[in-house]
Amino acid sequence: MSVKELQYIIAIGASAGGLEEINSFFDHTPCDGVSYIIVQHLSSDFKSRMAELLARHSKLVIMEAKDAMTVKANQVYLIPNDKFMTIRGGKLYLSEKEKMHGPNLTINRFFNSLAADSGRKAIGVILSGLGSDGTEGIKSIKNAGGMVIARNPETTEFNSMPSNAIATGLVDFVLEPALMPDIIENYVKHSGNIFIGDRNEEKNIKSIIELIKEQLTLDFSDYKPTTILRRIKRRATDNNFVLLENYYDFLKETPGELEALAKDFLISVTSFFRDKEAFDFIEKKVLPGMLENLAPGEELKMWVAGCATGEEAYSLAILIKEQLTGKLKDTVAKIFATDIDTVALIHARNGIFKTDISKHISAERLEKFFTKENKNYKVNAEIRSMVIFAQHDLVKNPPYCNMHFISCRNLLIYMMPALQKRIFLMLLFGLKKNGYLFLGASENPMPIIQNLEIVNKKWKIYKNLETKRAISLDTFSLPQMIDVSEKRPFDKPKKSLQKTKDSLAEAVNLNLIEELNSLAICIDENNHAIKAYGDTTKYLLQKNFNLNLTELLPDNVALAFNAMRVEALKLNKKATVRGIKIKRGQEVITINLSVSPLNIKDVEQELLMVSFTEDKEVTTEQKDTVVFDKKVFLDKYTLDIQNEVMELKAKLHSTYEQLDRSNDNMQSFNEELLSANEEMQRDWDKISFTSMLE
């Protein structure tokens, strides 16, 4: 059969642990007119019995490859143990291993030749194995338009090969071996059109991301497209969809699937003492000095961002607990462990893990810090009490501040560079001076590297050198803050001119603010900052980050702001006060403050704009405005508080009345239930009595 008559060639790369996976793969493989070529790492002096063993698991013809052998459909070809193999013109060619120089990258060699020979009809499969063989080969297959599948590295002991392949971002599906044949059959059946090269692929992906953002308040728009696409393809295939357009329609009608897809986007993978050498370094080189440098009575604070099911947070708690002896025994340690995945957090809070954690935790630590419950291990109370789990969105929510140690591992690699930079800045903001940042092996904090000292290059441990931190209200926001120009997935496309106008307006506003040397902040009805224009360092406190504007203002300014806010809301017009004195560095300056209502069409929420300007001179126009007097404003603030208390009391009284009415209704309802129950009981007695008479 000539190469033109061939349909698809599936090349399977495997090494240590691959034999059982190959058997599982062929247990589910149909006779569908394709060819299979198995490329294993084999010793030159080892005679493989693969053909004999595999014959028990497949009806396909299985044979060892010979030089210049033509590849035929519905046949399986095995690489000889002492040869390298390539394919050219639909024929297999063998060469002696001893004649080759350098590493024996058997899989890369064959995958590269397959990509050149079969193009988009090449399918590469990476199973278990050590090392990174196959990683370069799958790049060739993807560049040629083919498809790549890797086995799930989380469920195999020898996960280096699939992990390295997945790290390229080019793998189309990550599956167990038994599930791979169905995907291949679908791919072949639809002539390679199962999402690959779909003209509307980018549009559909954006629509799906927007749908998740709208329905679930999760924003994945700045995650790497390859990561998002791979997970969308897997979910769509599991639901028997060939086109993303149809899958998108299904998501709109199926909230459960939308939630499942969003959960797939979340990377909830971890283990105890993951990268043991890194934790050994932290135990011996980081924690002792960190604990020693604590001030008397100071708490040790750590933040594990993206904690998944909690293993890393508990690992750090164990290391700390082991060092809290002698003069440190009364030291309080708090580990804030956060994640966006609520399901993973529930698991983490329970602190219950399967017995296989014994592979990562010593028997001594298991006995000391865990309790055996049936077939599981449960974290002891002393370790559990050190960890505080909370839901937190790194993309939107402000950071935990004044941390001695922050861990954020293998999360940023899934994000685009712009989002990575924002989060790196946020992590830096959260660290105390001389605090430590612990990243994943594939992550580099280049946007903030000038503020860091490299403590351990291999394990990406850094020390913060930054002393002064500036707040950027644009970096963080509350989930689902108002954006009046926000585009919904069902809206008709807006003209590009509108985007240009929006960008122009933004640029003009920023330039005006800069020229006027002022700061403008948009806040909601709860005083939470939504957007800021101008330099926050001139007018706001830089002690720690908080979205509540009143907590970011110096005392005098906060006093004036509260009064002007009440007046602006009451009169629905701009309220201004001048002559507020604040300290900036070593000098005292005078500023003006204004609060104005923002009326935006179709927005029910009350929004205010708070503006700050430096008061350099008093003009005649300013003489009619209110001048700040601390005593007057304190009296006004007290009066406002009293009025607010009266309003709250009235609301509380109304609430009590409603509660009393609800209680009356419940009592009435209970009486009706009791009455109905008595009637049913009487009816039942009558039926029983009648039955006895009969």
Residues carrying an active site annotation:
15, 41, 133
Cα separation, 692 vs 128, whole angstroms: 72
> What proportions of the chain, in percent to the nearest 5, are helix, strand and coil?
45, 20, 35
Give the chain's length. 694
Q: In the 8-state DSSP scheme, what is residue 12?
A: E
Torsion (CA) 649, 651, 652, 658 in degrees, nearest 10: 150
Q: In the 8-state DSSP scheme, what is residue 267?
A: -
Residue 361 CA, chain-centre distance (Å), reads 26
Cα separation, 516 vs 508, whole angstroms: 12
Cα separation, 444 vs 424, whole angstroms: 10
Phi and psi dihedrals of 537, rounded to 5?
Answer: -70, -20
Q: Extract the tokens encoding 163.
A: 């992990």
**Single-letter amino acid, residue 222:** D
Q: Extract the tokens encoding 376.
A: 């599981």
CB atoms within 10 A of CB 686: 10
Q: Which helix (H) or strand (E) holds 654?
A: helix 630-693
Cα separation, 351 vs 248, whole angstroms: 37
- Sheet with 122-126, strands from edge to edge, namely 61-64, 75-78, 35-40, 9-14, 122-126, 147-151, 173-175
Q: Extract the tokens encoding 289.
A: 């000095």
Residue 47 CA, chain-centre distance (Å), reads 47
Cα separation, 121 vs 23, whole angstroms: 23
- The answer to whether residues 12 and 148 touch, using CB atoms and an 8 Å cutoff, is no
